[in-house]
Amino acid sequence: MPRYCLEVAYKGTAYAGFQTQQNANTVQDELEKALAVLYRQPWSLTGSSRTDAGVHAKQNFFHADAPFEVVKRHLYNVNAILPPDIVVKNIFSVAPNFHCRFLATFRRYRYFISIGKNPFTQQVAWFYPYALDLELLNAAAAAIMQFSDFTSFSKRNTQVHTKVCKVERSHWYLENDMLVYEVVANRFLRGMVRGLVATQLQAGRGKITIDELNQIVAAKDASKADFSAPAHGLFLEEVGFPENTFTAV
């Protein structure tokens, strides 16, 4: 049976996350409904990266098996059915053993903080009205990369076997009127990026030292981290796969 991969983007404000869950509407639900309408049979999608309620994505992926041919011109049709805050950007043919979660090599997230109050970014950036030291923030970001066990930044009751992640990039920078945190890793834990952001902001304000930040990570205790960063400032920017993974339909 042919296997296909869908590249999607969405604004997560109206959704209870990426993956289907009981008694809540999700991005996956909307995609499966739209595909069922178009192809007149149910689809069962598997996602590459789970985003929490209110988190956005400029790139995420689903894969599914379909007992029929899927062609690129169907993009227009499925996007006409989907709500305006979700788009299927591309459809690819992939190998029968392709798995968009397990074969992904990295995920890249960015968190946006509005330096000044801006009514036009209130759903996509966190207005944080405190003075921050960019040099301290980048010292904190560099400290994060010394660790591999991120238990302190994982919300409880997660069904994962390991809290080890390989962080490849971690830094802060200014972009127009935004302060941006960018982090790249092979995998992320539930709530991890928001925990990293909020805890580093404590360092950027001088509320904790870099040594104290190191102690928080080393403690492997989520009660010591700050998870107050709201979901709406977080974007899944990119999911990476090995070369030649995708074939155009």
One-letter amino acid of 129: P
| Lowest-pLDDT range of 29-43, 93-107, 113-127, 150-164 | 150-164
Split at pLDDT 50, 70, 90, the class of 153 is very high
Contact indicator for 74, 88 with CB cutoff of 8 Å: no
Rounded distance, CA 121 to CA 119, Å? 6
The per-residue pLDDT of the chain, averaged, comes to: 93
Amino acid in the structure at residue 242: P
- CA distances for 120 relative to 9, 27, 89, 114, 127, angstroms: 20, 23, 25, 10, 11
| Cα 60 from Cα 8, distance rounded (Å) | 5
Quick one: pLDDT at residue 71?
86
Say what the pLDDT of residue 213 is: 97
Q: Residue 50: its pLDDT value, please?
A: 86
Read off the tokens for 129. 């009205």
Provide the percentage of residues in the chain whose pLDDT is more than 70: 99
Quote the pLDDT of residue 189: 94
Question: Which are the contacts of 171, defined by CB distance < 8 A and separation ≥ 6?
Answer: 138, 141, 142, 181, 182
The band of 248, judged by pLDDT with boundaries at 50, 70 and 90, is confident
In this model, does residue 144 exceed pLDDT 70?
yes
Q: CA 15, CA 195: separation in Å to the nearest integer?
A: 21
Determine which of 38-47, 162-171, 204-213 has the lowest per-residue pLDDT on average.
38-47
Kindly give the residue spans of alpha helices, DSSP state H, lying in the chain.
27-39, 74-81, 134-144, 192-204, 210-219
Q: Is the pLDDT of residue 156 over 90?
A: no
Query: How far is the CA of 243 from the CAs of 70, 105, 247, in angstroms?
Result: 22, 11, 11
Write down all domains in the chain, each with its CATH number in brackets. 3-103 (3.30.70.580), 106-237 (3.30.70.660)
Residues labelled catalytic: 52
For residues 158 and 177, what is the distance between their CA atoms, to the nearest angstrom? Answer: 35
Q: pTM, whole model, 2 decimals?
A: 0.94
**pLDDT at residue number 157:** 65
What confidence category does residue 7 fall into, taking pLDDT thresholds of 50, 70 and 90? Answer: very high
Q: Which of 35-44, 55-64, 144-153 has the lowest mean pLDDT?
A: 35-44
Q: Confidence class of residue 159 from pLDDT cuts 50, 70 and 90?
A: low
pLDDT tier, 70 (very low <50, low <70, confident <90, very high otherwise) = confident
Q: What percent of the chain has pLDDT over 90?
A: 80
Burial class (CB in 10 A: 0-12, 13-18, 19+), 238: middle
Q: Is the pLDDT of residue 158 over 80?
A: no
Burial class (CB in 10 A: 0-12, 13-18, 19+), 81: middle
Please report which confidence band the pLDDT of residue 113 belongs to, taking 50, 70 and 90 as the band edges: very high
